[in-house]
Amino acid sequence: MKEPAADPGLKRVLGVPGLTLFGLTYLAPVAVFTTYGAVTQITQGHLPSAYVVALVVMLFTAVSYGRMARVYPTAGSAYTYTQQTFGGHVGFLTGWTLMLDYLFLPMINFLLIGIYLHSQFPAVPQWAFTLGALLVVLALNILGITVMSRVNVLVVGVSVVLILVFVALSLKHLGGHPSPAPFAPFTPGAGVFSGAAVLALSFLGFDAVSTLSEEARDPRRDIPRAIVLTTLIGGLLFILVAWMGSLAHPGYDDFANPDTAGVDIMAALGGAAFETIFVGIYVIGAFGSAMATQASVSRILYSMGRDGVLPKRAFSMLHARFRSPVFAVAVVSAVSLVALFISLDNAVVMVNFGALIAFSMVNLTVIKRYLVDERRRSTGDLLRYGLVPLVGFALTVWLWTSLSGVTFQVGLAWMGIGVVYLLGLTRLFRRKPPVMSFSEADPATV
């Protein structure tokens, strides 16, 4: 009798371009304007220098993610790497902590969409825009990664057009107001490293590429390339915008409101019409970022559910037609409903803690996997798998100094909940936590 064909699981449809576009959409290139004013003030006009430092810092960790993606080309990202390298308990706590960051990133994007659209259409309540965006993103994520990849092309394309127009207007402005020192913003200055610590957190997204390993055509080759490309291209776009903005608006302490410095600069360069266009494209970027962040965390939940770390029947469920982790996507949308009731300030403090935990652990997994487990000892191996991830780990630990006390309180509380859940899951550590099987067969469908 003919045996039934194995369930195909997630669709392997993405190459390096699609994966990189996903990462860039997650980064949301136009988000450079979100922290533009605040970090310009911190660095006293040396924002481009801070971005250069931040890019260098994040490239070390991006390389470590690429190393581990070659070994474990599955959807679990940092959760998978630490679980397979340091064991189930450490893997669970890493994945659990990372979920705090991922779960709230879509919510922050929905909040931003509501805030910006309400500023343009004050007659419509903010919650209506927020809820509408949430429902559209939910539908697109259920339709699957192929539809999302097409939308990502549009989102990144529109964002790049805005950046190019911004650069063109800045150059036009400089034609009538030439800068006496065009490279002055790149010189060392007070607050550059403090500013870089803040800006490095805006690079969150390069690691999200690794969560699509089971939807990549050749994950061992394509995922590492896309991770580094996402970090590099995103960083260069950030640096370009910061440089042009610094030349066109050299003052760093004369913004009416640092949080809306990007809007002020756009209005000064292109008038009210361009300001409106900027707001529209910013909303599109936030929409794309919400879509990408929700896709990433839903795949982490799917991976943990397939392991049995989370209720397997529900979280490993794939849509019969679209092959998307439908239950996990719905859970993320449910969590994002908090955006209807929370302020942006309170939402922001809930992120970043988990990401830095994950960055630290991934750097350490490279060292243990290649130098300890595989016993690689050549000079080249010691540099690639020892020095590079060790520098990445040290730089990530340094970034911890930028986190607020509230962030630590929320993050540690979330970790505490995870420890309690793990105690119940393992019967007070008398039972081993589930181990990743790497099997894509027999997932539940609806």
Q: What is the largest CA-CA distance in the chain?
A: 81
pLDDT at 445 over 50: no
Residue 382: its pLDDT value, please?
94
Mean pLDDT of all residues in 187-195: 80
Helix (H) or strand (E) holding 290: helix 261-307
Residue 139: its pLDDT value, please?
86
Does any domain span residue 10?
A: no
CB contact burial 362-372 (16+ within 10 A = b; e otherwise): bbbbbbebbbe
Mean pLDDT of all residues in 100-124: 84
Does any domain span residue 47?
A: yes
User: What proportion of the chain, given as a percentage, has pLDDT over 90?
Assistant: 17
Rounded Cα distance, 134 and 66, in Å: 31
Residue 195: its pLDDT value, please?
83
Mean pLDDT of all residues in 419-430: 84
Mean pLDDT for all residues in the chain: 80
Does any domain span residue 430?
A: no
The answer to whether the beta carbons of residues 169 and 274 sit under 8 Å apart is yes
Does any domain span residue 258?
A: yes
**Which pLDDT band holds residue 247 (cuts at 50, 70, 90)?**
confident
pLDDT at 246 over 80: yes
Instruction: Name the CA radius of gyration of the chain, rounded.
Output: 22
Rounded Cα distance, 266 and 206, in Å: 27
Half-sphere exposure (Cβ direction) of 242: Cα atoms closer than 13 Å: 35
Handedness of CA 136, 138, 143, 148 (dihedral sign): positive
How many beta carbons lie within 10 A of that of residue 121, not counting itself? Answer: 12
**Which pLDDT band holds residue 10 (cuts at 50, 70, 90)?**
low
Mean pLDDT of all residues in 255-264: 69
Residue 232: its pLDDT value, please?
93
Q: Return the beta strands (E) in 90-179 as ranges.
A: none
**Which pLDDT band holds residue 22 (cuts at 50, 70, 90)?**
confident
**Which pLDDT band holds residue 1 (cuts at 50, 70, 90)?**
very low
Residue 338: its pLDDT value, please?
87
Across 46-60, 390-404, 425-439, least confident range:
425-439
Mean pLDDT of all residues in 231-251: 86
**Which pLDDT band holds residue 3 (cuts at 50, 70, 90)?**
very low
Half-sphere exposure (Cβ direction) of 111: Cα atoms closer than 13 Å: 19
Among 119, 109, 146, smallest CA distance to 28 is for: 109
Domain containing residue 105: CATH number: 1.20.1740.10
What range defines the domain where residue 402 resides? 18-425
Highest-pLDDT range among 133-137, 207-211, 221-225, 404-408:
133-137
Mean pLDDT of all residues in 200-207: 74
Does any domain span residue 5?
A: no
In order of 97, 219, 395, 402, 431, the CA distances from 193 in angstroms are 26, 35, 11, 10, 45
The answer to whether the beta carbons of residues 216 and 66 sit under 8 Å apart is no
Does any domain span residue 211?
A: yes
User: What proportion of the chain, given as a percentage, has pLDDT over 70?
Assistant: 87
pLDDT at 300 over 50: yes
**Which pLDDT band holds residue 5 (cuts at 50, 70, 90)?**
very low
Residue 345: its pLDDT value, please?
64
Does any domain span residue 393?
A: yes
Does any domain span residue 228?
A: yes
Q: Decide: residue 210, CB within 10 A, 0-12 exposed, 13-18 middle, 19+ buried.
A: buried
Helix%, strand%, coil% for the chain, nearest 5: 75, 0, 25
Across 4-18, 174-188, 358-372, least confident range:
4-18
Residue 440: its pLDDT value, please?
38
Look-up of token digits 């607050």 = 191
pTM, to two decimals? 0.76
- What is the number of structural domains in the chain? 1
- The encoded tokens of residue 124 equal 């419509």
